[in-house]
Each structure stands twice: as C-alpha cells, then as structure tokens.
Structure 1
Amino acid sequence: MGIVNMDELLNFHQSTETIGTAGQPTREQFKKIAEQGYSSVVNLAMHDSDNAIPEEGNIVSSLGMSYFHMPVPFDRPTAEHLKKFIRIMYALEGEKVFVHCALNARVSAFMYKYLTLCKSVGEAESTSPLLRQWLPQMDEAWKSIIRLSADEVG
C-alpha cells in the first residue's frame, strides 16, 4: 500500500486524527483516500460544482467506502444544512472520514462549527488554513453560519 501524500489533494487539511478534508478529489485520488483507511466520504459540493464527478458515489462505493452526498449551495448555506452535516458526522463517529466540497471552503466552515460546538475544540485548532484566509472576505451568508450558536444548531 505504501505512504500516500495526502497533500496532493486540493487544500487538504487534517482536521482531527480521524477526519481529513479537501477540495474535490480526482477519480485517482479517491483510490489514495481509500488506501489511507478512510471508511466514509462526505461530499458537500453541488452536483454541478467545478470538477464534480457525476459517478462519484459509485467510485467511492466500489472502493469499499460509504458515500454521503449533502449538497450545500455556496450562495445559500443554511442552519439546516449545518444541522444535517452534524448529524452525519455523529453517525460516522469513530470512523475515519474524508469530507470534501469543491475547494474545501464549505467544509472548512462546517468543520469549524462541528468541532467548536460539538467537540469542544478550541477556535484556533478548529480553523483550517483555508478558513483563516477566507474569513476576511467571507460573505454574509457564510458569516451567519460561523455566528450560529449551539442553541441555534441544536
């Protein structure tokens, strides 16, 4: 199997010991993800996102991983999207999970909220490099996601 360089993945970030995040992987990179022991893939990108792979679910499943596609419109994220994401992450707790979207922006924001609200991880440790770069120019729709409280998320 050998060591695979996960840094080849677009905007890869190891969020926790068991959760890796990135932008859209290629077909070949999904094989590398499986080789690294990930058992599930969560995709937050839209069906028509840049570089989307229409048969991604089939590819992931053929590699022995579970696949969850939860499209989040980049221009209209909602608290309901975040709540659904958190439910998926709780269902996959204890597994090695790979989460992606088109660039790792949606995922970085959702992972930040999941880690800070649900896992009591500090802000600094929950902020991916991409989120750190994005925060100053983030639009109001995403700022409202970042500001959600534990009560609002449930």
Structure 2
Amino acid sequence: MTDLTHILNWRRIDMRITTSGQPDEAQMVDLKSLGVTHIVNLGIHHNGKGALTDELGTVAELGMAYIYIPVDFENPTDADYKAFKEALAAHPNANIHVHCIYNARVSAFFYRYAIDGFGLTVPKAMENMESIWRPGADWADFIRSTEAVGQPNRYAGEDY
C-alpha cells in the first residue's frame, strides 16, 4: 500500500491506520484515493497553524466519515483518550486516518494505546512518537511517563 509521505509527519500504524499532521484539501483527496474511509481529527478547528476552514465539509464532500475529538494541547484528558479508543473500536474494519496539527497529539495517543495493549508494541510506539516529539509538561501524566514530568515538550529536529 502506498504511503503519503508528502503529508506532514506521515506515519503508518498498520495496514488500515495511518496518522499525520494536518492534511490540506488536496491531501484529503489523496487519503480518499488511498482507501481511507474515516478521518479522526484530534486537533482544534480554530488552530491558526493549519487547521482547515471547513474540514467536516471537505471530508463529507469526499464521502468519508468524520470524527472530531478536539484535544486541548495544554490539557489532554482521559475523556479524550476514551473517545479516541471508542472511535477506533467502533470501526474495526475501516481504513482510518488520524491526524492533528503536527502529529504530536496523535503519536502520544497511540503511545498510550500501545501501553494499554493495543496497536503497536510499546517500543515501536515510543519510536514513532519520539521521531516527532518528546512529550513533557501536561503530557507526562497522559502518557504515564514519570521521566517526562517537569520536562518541556520537545520536537524532533527542532530546538525549543
């Protein structure tokens, strides 16, 4: 299966689940062409760093289902994670693309998902996440990382 590596921080979790940063309208068409039937967005619609003006409309026009789980980057919650798990469980045979703005939220969600025994192995999920960023701050508790407590969020390849 073709990968869409031109989409920001594109990653393949398995044969039916892919992730990335925010796709633009043309990249949504590419996702549809890849066979994606469901888009899960963990980003915030009003994010000024690339959120689509009408993502729901774009996705609907392409005939894909849209699941919106807006995760506050400064406060990821267990309720957000529960909604994420339920979205994946509700569509066990669908080709799903999960994104946010940078693939930071998403990679942390899939890391926690691996800790809970689903999807990737924990080492693979850690490798995936750390290729994008290293969570700290408010994300330390969310990903259950005592090592990350008190550390800043750090992005791979960028020095903040």
Same fold (TM over 0.5): yes
Q: Which residue number corresponds to residue 69 of structure 1? A: 68
Match of 1:109 in 2: 108
C-alpha offsets along residues 102-148 of structure 1, whole Å, 9 cap, x if unaligned? 0000000001122331426421222353434522xx22311111118
Cα displacement (A) at 1:34: 0.2
2:137 is the counterpart of 1:143: no
Tell me: CA distance 1:81–1:103, structure 2 relative to 1, closer, same or farther (3 Å).
same
Greater displacement, 112-121 / 10-19: 112-121
1:1-154 equivalent positions in 2, closer than 5 A: 6-49=4-47, 50-119=49-118, 121-135=120-134, 138-147=135-144
Superposed displacement of residue 4, structure 1:
5.9
Q: What amino acid does structure 2 have at the position aligned with 1:48?
A: H
Further displaced range: 21-30 or 113-122:
113-122
Q: Is the 8 A contact 1:105 1:130 kept in 2?
A: yes
State how far apart, in whole Å, the 1-side matches of 2:132 and 2:32 are: 29
Distance 1:76 1:42 in 2: 19
Post-superposition CA distance 1:27-74 (Å, at most 9, x none):
100000000000100000011221111211111111111001110010
Q: State the secondary structure of the residue aligned to 2:81.
A: helix
Q: CA RMSD in A?
A: 1.9
- Percent pairwise identity: 31
Q: Structure 2: any 5+ residue segments left out of the alignment?
A: 146-160
Higher RCO (CA < 8 A, seq sep 6+): 1
Taking a change above 3 Å as real, the CA distance of residues 132 and 118 of structure 1, as seen in their structure-2 partners, is: same
Q: Determine helix, strand or coil for the equivalent of 1:6.
A: coil
| Contact 2:40–2:98 (8 Å) recurs in 1 | yes
Q: Larger helix proportion, structure 1 or 2?
A: 1
Secondary structure, in 3 states, of the residue corresponding to 1:147?
coil
SS at match of 1:7: coil
Structure 1: state its 5+ residue gaps.
149-154
> Structure 1 length as normaliser, TM-score?
0.85
**Distance apart, 1:10 and its partner CA:** 0.1
Secondary structure of the 1:46 match is coil
Is this contact kept in 2: 1:13–1:128, CA < 8 A?
no
What is the number of equivalent residue pairs in this alignment? 144
